[in-house]
């Protein structure tokens, strides 16, 4: 593991990352994820996706200049009050379509799908940035929207995993619907 410290450091530290090409960084992550070097691990694709979402997506947002104005968010209680409202609206707008396939996948899987579908950050960040540049969204509302996106990325997948693990711990496995 100590041999991997330089690789991890090159990915996690922006000043080090600038000296490395993206190919070197991707290779370092691949080395960490696939230790047998032949990409034969049964969980390889899952590990690679986890690295992509856990490392590269956050790095993209940091390097692309996403700004989260915490001061604007905490400037008034009414701005903070918007976050749960926006989070509920996000869940309803993006999670509700999962109900359309409830009969095909069952209630628990529908709940998991709804939570995962409701996770959204890139679109919210882009739309908020455009709205602020056009002057249609003020800094407080923009901060509340981006905060909502951040919370959705943190809370909804965690809730989905909790639902999945809860069903496995109780021995509850929904049968696959007949096709």
Using an 8 Å Cβ cutoff, are 119 and 152 in contact?
yes
Lowest-confidence range among 10-14, 29-33, 84-88, 107-111? Answer: 10-14
Give the distance, in angstroms, between the CA of residue 43 and the centroid of all CA atoms in the same chain: 20
Using an 8 Å Cβ cutoff, are 105 and 143 in contact?
no
Q: pLDDT by residue (tens digit) across 11-54?
A: 444 444 455 555 566 666 666 665 655 556 677 777 767 666 66
pTM above 0.85, yes or no: no
Cα dist from 132 to 86, 90, 124, 126, 138, whole Å: 17, 19, 12, 10, 6
Using an 8 Å Cβ cutoff, are 91 and 114 in contact?
yes
Q: pLDDT by residue (tens digit) across 129-169?
A: 889 889 999 999 999 999 999 899 889 988 998 998 876 66
Q: What CA–CA distance (Å, rounded) separates 87 from 51?
A: 26
CB neighbour list of residue 145: distance below 8 Å, 6 or more residues apart: 86, 124, 127, 128, 137
Q: What CA–CA distance (Å, rounded) separates 168 from 179?
A: 24
């Amino acid at each position: 593991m100590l041999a991997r410290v330089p690789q991890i450091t090159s990915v996690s530290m922006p000043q080090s990352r600038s000296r490395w090409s993206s190919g070197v960084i991707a290779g370092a992550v691949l080395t960490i994820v696939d230790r047998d070097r032949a990409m034969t691990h049964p969980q390889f694709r899952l590990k690679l996706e986890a690295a992509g979402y856990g490392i590269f997506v956050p790095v993209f947002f940091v390097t692309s200049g996403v700004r989260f104005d915490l001061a604007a968010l905490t400037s008034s209680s009414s701005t903070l009050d918007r976050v749960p409202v926006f989070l509920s609206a996000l869940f309803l707008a993006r999670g509700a379509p999962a109900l359309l396939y409830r009969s095909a996948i069952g209630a628990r899987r529908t709940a998991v799908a709804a939570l995962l579908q409701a996770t959204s950050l890139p679109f919210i960040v882009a739309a908020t940035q455009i709205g602020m540049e056009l002057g249609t969204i003020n800094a407080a509302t923009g901060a509340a929207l981006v905060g909502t996106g951040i919370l959705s990325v943190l809370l909804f997948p965690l809730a989905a995993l909790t639902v999945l693990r809860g069903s496995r711990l109780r021995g509850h496995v929904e049968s696959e619907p007949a096709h």
